[in-house]
Amino acid sequence: MELIDAIATRQSTRKFNAVPVTEADVKAILRAGCAAPVANGGHDRLHFTVVQSRELLRKIGGATGKAFGTPDYDPFYGAGTFVVVSVKPREGEPTIEVADGACAVENMLLMAAGLGLASVYLWSFRWGLKEQPALISELSLPEGFLPVSGAAIGHADEPLAPRELALPGSYNFVK
Ligand SMILES: Cc1cc2nc3c(=O)[nH]c(=O)nc-3n(C[C@H](O)[C@H](O)[C@H](O)COP(=O)(O)O)c2cc1C
């Protein structure tokens, strides 16, 4: 799929079916994630965790529902693959790692769309990890890394249709 078509096709899916994502597709998505721009070329400050344990997804989902006061909420929407992007925070730049993580996630979402997969950017799980910090250790992160963003990836029953690429609602030129 052309990049322009992947951009037009990517959209948030909030209902995944049970069809698993193949390992080859997961690896293609990881390759896209680590090809993203990262501040100062600090790719070694990014770590990707592919969570495919239904048990861990259920635990993080339960903690997130608890944090939101909505016990039945599934922040993964049934997806069986959740890629967590973790970063090693930088001295003096307390927010730049969030930007690094966001770039990595967007690259993964676009690759997923290009492979015909459904996806959604996830932030809400962070609330679950704040609610139950002990769950972070179940991600087996390298020392010093913190989870910042994630992507749920899977299959949707309805194929995604490309959307028209509209101009921003608010923009200007300065010439
Ligand atoms: C930083 C960020 C955090 C997000 N967190 C969540 C989330 O936790 N759960 C969710 O369902 N969608 C989440 N989204 C998806 C947005 O709601 C979605 O991208 C937006 O509504 C536009 O829809 P589209 O992705 O279909 O174009 C997040 C998106 C971004 C960029």
- Asked if 151 contacts 12 with a C-beta cutoff of 8 angstroms, the reply is no
Tell how far the Cα of 122 is from the centroid of ligand 1, in angstroms. Answer: 7
Minimum-distance ligand 1 atom for the alpha carbon of 106: 31
Nearest to 77 by CA among 160, 130, 161, 152: 152
| pLDDT at residue 91, as a whole number | 84
| pLDDT at residue 79, as a whole number | 98
**Residue 158: inside a domain, yes or no?**
no
Supply the pTM of this predicted model: 0.97
DSSP state of 93: B
Tell how far the Cα of 9 is from the centroid of ligand 1, in angstroms. Answer: 15
| pLDDT at residue 33, as a whole number | 98
**Residue 133: inside a domain, yes or no?**
yes
Q: How far apart are CA 74 and CA 160, in angstroms?
A: 21
Q: CA–CA distance from 119 to each of 58, 63, 159 (Å)?
A: 18, 21, 12
**Residue 91: inside a domain, yes or no?**
yes
| pLDDT at residue 92, as a whole number | 82
Atom 28 (ligand 1): residue with closest C-alpha? 121
**Residue 162: inside a domain, yes or no?**
no
**Residue 173: inside a domain, yes or no?**
no
End-to-end CA separation in angstroms for the chain: 35
67 CB within 6 A, ligand 1:
no
Q: How far apart are CA 75 and CA 84, in angstroms?
A: 13
Q: How far apart are CA 111 and CA 166, in angstroms?
A: 21
**Residue 161: inside a domain, yes or no?**
no
**Residue 171: inside a domain, yes or no?**
no
CATH of the domain at 99: 3.40.109.10
Instruction: Give the domain range for residue 98.
Output: 3-153
| pLDDT at residue 90, as a whole number | 85
127 CB within 6 A, ligand 1:
no
Number of domains forming the structure of the chain: 1
Q: What is the mean pLDDT of each run of 10 residues along the chain (175 residues)?
A: 96 97 98 96 95 98 97 96 95 88 98 98 98 98 97 95 97 98
**Residue 78: inside a domain, yes or no?**
yes
- Residue 62 Rama label (left phi>0; alpha psi -120 to 50; beta): alpha
